[in-house]
Amino acid sequence: MNVNELPIGVFDSGLGGLTAVRELKEILPHENIVYFGDTGRLPYGTRSAETIIKYACDDMNFLLTNSVKAVLIACGTVSSTALGVLKSSFDVPIFGVVEPASAEAVSLTKKKKIAVLATPSTISAKAFDKAIAGIDGSVSVCGIGCPMFVPLVENGYIGEDCFVTKEIVNEYLSKLENFAPDVIILGCTHYPLIKSIISKTACEKFGKTEIVDSGKVSAHALKKYLDQNGMAKTDGEGFTRYYVSDEPHNFGKTASLFLGEQVDNVSKIDMEEYLYKK
C-alpha cells in the first residue's frame, strides 16, 4: 500500500489528544486517524519519568500494529518526558507538542512573559522552558502544575458555566498574578477542553492574554511534515477509529461533546492481554 494511504496515529492518556484530532480533521480531512487514549492508566501527569516512558512505549507499540505512517504524541506529559526515547526506539516519524507550542507562544508574546499550565510531570521536566530558551533567551517562563484539571475534564466538567472548574481555574491562575503573562501555553492537551474558562479568567486577571493550544498547533506541525514529504492523503473522506484501555462509554460521550459529532466507534483494548500476546 502507498504510504500516503496509511493512517496517522495519535495517542494520549485519555481525552486530551482529541484537541489535536479536532484540528487534524479540519486541516487534513482526507486522512484516516487511529486514536488511542490510555484511559485505564490515566493520569500520566503525576507519574515518574520511568513509568511515563514505559506507558508511552506500550502506546506506540499498539499504534504500530495499525500500520500508522506517523505518530502525533498528543500529550504534553509524554512529549516532555519521553520524546527522545521514543524517537530513538521506533522507526516512524514522531511528533510532540512542546516545540510547536513553544514556537507559537514566542511568536505571540509582546511582554516576553509566557506562562505554561501543564501537569506536574511536564512542569518538572522543564521541556517548555528549554524549548522557549532555545528560540528566544530573553523570554521569561513561569510554569504552574495544574493536577486537578485532568480529572475535571475526564469527568466531563467542561461546560463554560461549570462552577467547580471556574473555581479551580481561578485558584491556579492566582499563582500567576505577580508574573502577569501575556501568553499562556496549555501544555497539557486536556486543558483546551476548558479553554474558554481559562481564557476568560486570564483576561480578567492579566488583561489581553493569548492562549496557545498545544494539541492544535502540533497538528499543524504534522501537516507541514506530511506535505513537505509528499506523505499526505489527498482524496476520500477521512475516518477516525478510537481505542481506549478502559470502558468506552464516557470517552465517547465527552468526545462527542468536544468534537461536535457523534463518536460511537470507540473500542476497548485490553492492555494486559495485548502486552501478554506480544
- Compute CA distances 173 → 199, 214, 217, whole Å: 10, 18, 22
Per CB under 6 A, 223 contacts ligand DGL: no
The one among 8, 9, 13, 193 contacting ligand DGL by CB under 6 A: 13
Per CB under 6 A, 45 contacts ligand DGL: yes
Span near ligand DGL by CB under 6 A; candidates 10-18, 204-212, 223-231, 266-274: 10-18
Q: How far is the CB of 81 from ligand DGL (least distance, A)?
A: 9
Residue number with CB closer to ligand DGL (151 or 236)? 151
Q: How far is the CB of 218 from ligand DGL (least distance, A)?
A: 10
- Among 57, 142, 146, 188, the active-site one is 188
**How far is CA 81 from its chain centroid?**
13
The one among 165, 189, 218, 254 contacting ligand DGL by CB under 6 A: 189
The closest residue (CB) to ligand DGL is 45
The one among 114, 150, 169, 255 contacting ligand DGL by CB under 6 A: 150
Residue number with CB closer to ligand DGL (149 or 206)? 149
Provide the mask over 69-108, with x wherever binding to ligand DGL is found by CB under 6 A and - wherever it is not. Answer: ------xxx-------------------------------
Least Cα distance to 213 among 241, 243, 192, 190 occurs for 192
Query: Active site includes 188?
Result: yes
Span near ligand DGL by CB under 6 A; candidates 12-20, 27-35, 48-56, 194-202: 12-20
The one among 7, 9, 37, 43 contacting ligand DGL by CB under 6 A: 43
Residue number with CB closer to ligand DGL (6 or 215)? 215
- Give the residue numbers annotated as catalytic, written as ranges: 75, 188
Sites of contact with ligand DGL (CB under 6 A): 12-13, 16, 42-45, 75-77, 119, 122, 150, 188-190
